[in-house]
Amino acid sequence: MRQGARPEGGRDSGGAGRSWRDDRDQRQGRGPRSDREREPLPPGLARAEDEPPVPQDADPSRLPREVRAELRSLSPEGAEFVSKHLVAAGDLVDTDPALALRHAQAAKRRGSRLPLVREALAETAYAADEYAIALNEYRALRRMTGDSAYLPVMADCERALGRPEEALRLVKEAKLVDMTQRTRVELVIIEAGAREDLKQAKEGLRILKVALGHAGRDIPHEAHARLAYSYAAMLLRNGQEEAAREWFVTADGLDVARELDAEDQIELLDGVDFVFDFDDEDESDEDESDEDESDEDEDSEPSVDDEPADEDGEDHDQPHEDDTEGLTPEVVTSEVVPEGQEALLNEAGEADDSAEAEEKERND
């Protein structure tokens, strides 16, 4: 056969003229294969029982242009299926990462050869704390693309899976390749965390401190903020509250995008400010006054003159000047005179006024 010629018996070779489908369906007189004869799909390609339905309201045009271009390698039906699940995964990853992961897994079923689909699955799995799935997908991405930028997040997945030694091995490998400043900061944070996981907190603090000392003005603010926050958090975990507070303040000043909770950490270190709800306090006072009144029915109430004085000779029923500072008159009243006793005092006052009025009428 000459080079480039079609094989004998082909559709254009002058043979019987049957298509390959006809030949397949009529081999040895047998009909088409039944469903039972079909081989099962490889793992990951069969539809999962909990696979969410294709979101009909998802708009594939929302995907970036380069993503839509990569999806053209699929059939039109497959491209629509994958793109709609990707849109749903992107919408849900921050609010419901578990459901976003299921959408990304559905997209992989029809687009497993596309790096963008594997990256979507890796990121949603990471957001859903499914680190084994995330690590597997990041490994596949690195094989498919040859990109070493995935090494830091792979190391972080190893940490999350309780393998800090493997995390440090990946960190060492990542240090040999060129990376952006932002990625290098993440690598430093992961390395320090892995050292802390290995009960080497002092080494972890040293790594972060050196990185902060070398941080120049060219480092992005958000990366610098994350570095300072990680150092503060490790200081706090190791009992250095005062130093931790200072670095939380630094991180808060660098966090222009307000992505960190440094301000909350500062407030916790400074102490929690309690806000009193006087409505609840009044309800508790009413309960206490009811108990006091029931006790008064059994025992006669001693007069004020008969009450024993404290050993120091002070009357602790009256508020000190320090106790009343910052309180309104209404609050002072509710603090000094319980609500039940205040009602009794008011009734006694009204009775005295009535008796005085009757005596005045008799004199007139």
d(CA 85, CA 204) in angstroms, rounded, equals 41
Read off the pLDDT band of 318 (50, 70, 90).
very low
Nearest of 167, 92, 111 to residue 135 by alpha carbon? 167
Nearest of 205, 177, 184 to residue 193 by alpha carbon? 205
d(CA 257, CA 221) in angstroms, rounded, equals 9
8 A C-beta contact, residue 260 and residue 247: no
Read off the pLDDT band of 313 (50, 70, 90).
very low
Q: Residue for token digits 């009811």? A: 290
Per-residue pLDDT at 198: 97
DSSP letters for 125-140 = HHHTT-HHHHHHHHHH
d(CA 140, CA 104) in angstroms, rounded, equals 15
8 A C-beta contact, residue 202 and residue 235: no
Nearest of 85, 91, 132 to residue 104 by alpha carbon? 85
8 A C-beta contact, residue 50 and residue 42: no
Q: Whole-structure pTM over 0.95, yes or no?
A: no
Say if residue 137's pLDDT is above 80: yes
Ramachandran assignment for 9, one of left (phi > 0), alpha (psi -120 to 50 degrees), beta (any other) = left
8 A C-beta contact, residue 171 and residue 155: yes
Least confident stretch, 38-42, 104-108, 113-117, 221-225: 38-42
Q: Tell me which range, 52-56, 283-287, 331-335, is most confidently predicted by mean pLDDT.
A: 52-56
d(CA 345, CA 158) in angstroms, rounded, equals 72
Nearest of 178, 141, 146, 176 to residue 157 by alpha carbon? 141
Say if residue 123's pLDDT is above 50: yes
Per-residue pLDDT at 219: 86
What are the pLDDT digits (tens) for 11-63? 333 333 333 233 333 334 444 444 444 566 555 556 777 789 988 889 999 99
Least confident stretch, 2-11, 108-117, 148-157, 175-184: 2-11
Say if residue 83's pLDDT is above 50: yes
Q: Residue for token digits 């339905």? A: 53
